[in-house]
């Protein structure tokens, strides 16, 4: 018996990604609350910091993985032959392609902006 089966790996991956996104959110809220005045230049210098670029990149990768696994779960639950009949294969494939395309574009575009 394997300790980590596929479902366990996916469950842990989603939870680790969510934890990473939570820490990023808390850090941003802390920065906003602890900074008395925020203008464009303060915000820009905050995101130009190397640590923040790495942290934002980790957030974006976590967000992409979390979204990919979430959309997979939705697709496998709702785009089934029991619900859609013979069209389920093409609907599911189209849905996964659209999700992959959208997640990739957002990830690459965000990384280009950050770096």
User: Cα separation of 71 and 40, whole Å?
Assistant: 35
Q: Of the candidates 25, 102, 13, which has an alpha carbon nearest to the alpha carbon of residue 56? A: 25
User: Cα separation of 84 and 27, whole Å?
Assistant: 44
Q: Percentage helix, strand, coil, to 5, in the chain? A: 90, 0, 10
pLDDT > 90 fraction of the chain, expressed in percent and rounded: 80
Please tell me the number of Cα atoms within 13 Å of 86 on its side-chain side: 0
pTM: 0.86
Average model confidence (pLDDT) across the chain: 92
Question: In this predicted structure, what is the pLDDT of residue 94?
Answer: 95
- At residue 1 the predicted structure's pLDDT band, cuts being 50, 70 and 90, is very low
Compute, in degrees rounded to 10, the torsion defined by CA atoms 81, 82, 86, 88.
-40
pLDDT in tens, 2-50: 655 677 888 899 999 999 999 999 999 999 999 999 999 999 999 999 9
């Amino acid at each position: 018996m394997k300790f980590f089966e596929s479902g366990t790996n996916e469950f842990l991956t989603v939870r680790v990604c969510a934890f990473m996104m939570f820490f990023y959110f808390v850090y941003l809220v802390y920065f906003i609350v602890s900074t008395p005045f925020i203008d464009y230049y303060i915000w820009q210098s905050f995101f130009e910091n190397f640590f923040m670029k790495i942290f934002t990149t980790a957030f974006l990768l976590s967000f992409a993985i979390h979204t990919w696994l979430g959309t997979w779960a939705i697709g496998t639950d709702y785009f089934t032959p029991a619900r859609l009949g013979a069209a389920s294969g093409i609907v599911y494939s189209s849905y996964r392609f659209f999700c992959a395309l959208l997640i990739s574009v957002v990830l690459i575009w965000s990384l280009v902006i950050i770096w």
